[in-house]
Amino acid sequence: MTKEELWQATLARIQFQVSPANFATWLQNTYILSKKDGQLLVSVPNNFSKEWLENKYNKAIFKTLRELDPEIRQVAYTVEKILAKQKEPEKNSSGACGAEAQLEFAEFKINKSTNLNPRYAFDNFIVGPFNELAHAASLAIAKNPGSVYNPLFVYGGVGLGKTHLLQAVGNEVTKEAPEKKVRYVSSERFTSGVVAAIRNRTVDAFRVAYRDIDVLIIDDVQFLAGKDKTQEELFHTFNTLYERSKQVIFSSDRPPKSIPALEERLRSRFEGGMIADISMPDYETRVAILKAKMQERSFVLEEQICEYLASHIQRNIRELEGALNRLHAHFRLVNKMPSIAEARSLLKSVIQSPNKSVNYKKIIETVAEFYDLKEREILAASRKKEVVRPRQIAMYLLREELKSSFPFIGERFGGKDHTTAIYACEKIGKEIQESEALFDEINLIRQRIYSA
Ligand code: ADP
Ligand code: MG
């Protein structure tokens, strides 16, 4: 048995002992680097999985290896550079596929000064009747910032392309007019900026930093509800920019008049330019979006499966993409295109649960199970590395799925301050944009949360 065969056989057995999600997360991109005098060196994709394998799975791996080859005495794990790994001739192993995919997505780095993610462009934004107006207005603004519609206020439900569209404007302006200063901020980040400025008595510096921006994009302004100081600061920032004919773009999950606890003068600013909504995509557009996403991933599903996805996931483009990612992850794992029957079964949890209900307990339970931890380990204040990250992910999910407040989240996790919760949510939120792997991983957790 060659070392490759030995490892494949080991993985094939381990696969039955761990959940598919854990397998995909920890074992998928591993392979044997060397085998000498009973010593095995296994390559793993990152430090996090190294620790995980050493602490959690080593026993099972070692036992299985020895059953297959009694001469094995020791196993060690090491993180190897992806580039080195790509030179390996075994191109068609699922491991190499994974590494390439990681490399490909690693190129999407968020720009430090603009906060824009280059992944969001007009090129890969599919237009249909449901988003036509918002798209046309955005495109016009990208070509002529500050002079057509000011401000632009885009609203629509979750996962329907607001962030994508707003960032596409920013990216387009940066491309066409690199001298222009573009800045994208989430409302939460804007809020924490205001809070910090007040605390550190640097409000003037904060104002100056926003004053000479040419295109300011503020995402999800519904989160400003009830935050008076932040609203006041935004009002002044807006006025300053507006007077200088600088472009301002807002998004929200609802129209300005439906945002609760919003100062009247700010509401009237939001309504003072162009308001465009994004509604739900029709069937044809959903198919077109899927095709575009498949092309991005160099992964093409059978027509029948596309139709199945497009007809069953109607309300949320992010979910449509999540389903595609799920099938893609499966493909990378087994290196075989799913059949329609497999696709149905893989997506059962996403598709066959119209009455999704989820609560705090369910989220903690699922995250704990996903990472093979006890619920109390996740909730306690321990700083152990293998717990810290799952805990941050649990906090992030509480925030995203239940809109739990930061003080509530902090309180639940070892009685921490709300800033710990904000930090965790921001950190994971940012990493998701940079790492397709983490994005997939969290989608897998989400899927489980909604599946039972
Ligand atoms: P929102 O901000 O409205 O919650 P996002 O902009 O984050 O939604 O979109 C969710 C996902 O769906 C993103 O990955 C985005 O690229 C994708 N998406 C949304 N609308 C489109 C579209 N019209 N064409 C292509 N992809 C889209
Ligand atoms: Mg968004």
Amino acid identity for residue 147 in this structure: S
CATH number at residue 71: 3.30.300.180
Number of domains into which the chain is organized: 4
Specify whether 428 is located in the same domain as 307: no
Domain range for 47 is 3-84
Q: What is the reported pLDDT for 89?
A: 37
Specify whether 297 is located in the same domain as 329: yes
Q: What is the reported pLDDT for 329?
A: 86
Whole-angstrom distance between the N-terminal and C-terminal Cα of the chain?
Answer: 42
The owner of tokens 């104002």 is: 207
Amino acid identity for residue 16 in this structure: F
Question: What DSSP string describes 205-220?
Answer: HHHHHHHT-SEEEEE-
Q: Which residues are 77's β-sheet partners?
A: 42
Specify whether 75 is located in the same domain as 180: no
Q: Is the minimum distance from the CB of 206 to ligand 1 under 6 angstroms?
A: no
CB count within 10 Å of CB 28 equals 18
Q: What is the reported pLDDT for 199?
A: 94
Amino acid identity for residue 192 in this structure: S
Amino acid identity for residue 339 in this structure: S
Cβ distance 290 to 281 under 8 Å? Answer: no
Specify whether 345 is located in the same domain as 435: no
Specify whether 372 is located in the same domain as 421: yes
Residue 298 CA, ligand 2 centroid: distance in Å:
25
The owner of tokens 């999407």 is: 108
Laid out side by side, the sheet with 247-252 consists of: 182-186, 215-219, 247-252, 152-156, 274-278
b/e code 43-82 from CB counts within 10 Å (16+ = b)? bbbeeebbebbeebbeeebbebbeeebeebeebebeeeeb
Residue 3 CA, ligand 2 centroid: distance in Å:
46
CATH number at residue 167: 3.40.50.300
Q: What is the pLDDT along the chain (452 residues), one digit of tens a residue?
A: 888 888 988 888 887 777 766 777 778 778 888 888 888 999 887 776 787 788 888 888 999 999 899 888 889 998 765 443 333 333 333 333 333 333 334 346 788 899 999 999 999 999 999 999 999 999 999 999 999 899 999 998 889 999 999 999 999 999 999 999 999 999 989 999 999 999 999 999 999 999 999 999 999 999 998 899 999 999 999 999 999 999 999 999 888 988 878 999 999 999 999 999 998 899 999 999 999 999 888 889 999 999 999 999 988 899 899 899 989 988 888 888 999 999 998 898 777 654 456 789 999 999 998 888 899 999 988 888 889 999 999 999 999 888 889 999 999 998 888 999 999 999 999 998 888 778 877 877 886 787 55
Specify whether 157 is located in the same domain as 231: yes
- 129 cis-preceded (ω within 30 degrees of 0): no
Q: What is the reported pLDDT for 94?
A: 38
Specify whether 250 is located in the same domain as 171: yes
Q: What is the reported pLDDT for 285?
A: 95
Residue 167 CA, ligand 2 centroid: distance in Å:
10
Q: What is the reported pLDDT for 359?
A: 87
Residue nearest (by alpha carbon) to ligand 1 atom 18: 161
Q: Is the minimum distance from the CB of 164 to ligand 1 under 6 angstroms?
A: yes
Q: Is the minimum distance from the CB of 98 to ligand 1 under 6 angstroms?
A: no
Q: Please tell me the distance from the alpha carbon of residue 117 to that of residue 41, in angstroms, as a whole number.
A: 37
Q: Is the minimum distance from the CB of 162 to ligand 1 under 6 angstroms?
A: yes
Q: What is the reported pLDDT for 354?
A: 47
Specify whether 332 is located in the same domain as 392: no
Cβ distance 42 to 76 under 8 Å? Answer: yes
Half-sphere exposure of 223 (CA within 13 A, CB side): 19
Specify whether 250 is located in the same domain as 155: yes
Specify whether 137 is located in the same domain as 268: yes
Q: What is the reported pLDDT for 107?
A: 46
Cβ distance 236 to 205 under 8 Å? Answer: no
Positive or negative CA dihedral for 250, 255, 257, 259? Answer: negative
Q: Is the minimum distance from the CB of 126 to ligand 1 under 6 angstroms?
A: yes
Q: What is the reported pLDDT for 84?
A: 35
Q: Give the contacts of 106 (CB within 8 A, at least 6 positions apart).
A: 434, 435
Please indicate, yes or no, if residue 368 is contained in any of the structural domains.
yes
Q: Please tell me the distance from the alpha carbon of residue 306 to that of residue 70, in angstroms, as a whole number.
A: 47
Please indicate, yes or no, if residue 347 is contained in any of the structural domains.
yes
Q: What is the reported pLDDT for 31?
A: 86
Specify whether 270 is located in the same domain as 324: no
Please indicate, yes or no, if residue 389 is contained in any of the structural domains.
yes
Q: What is the reported pLDDT for 183?
A: 97
67 is written with which tokens?
């059953």
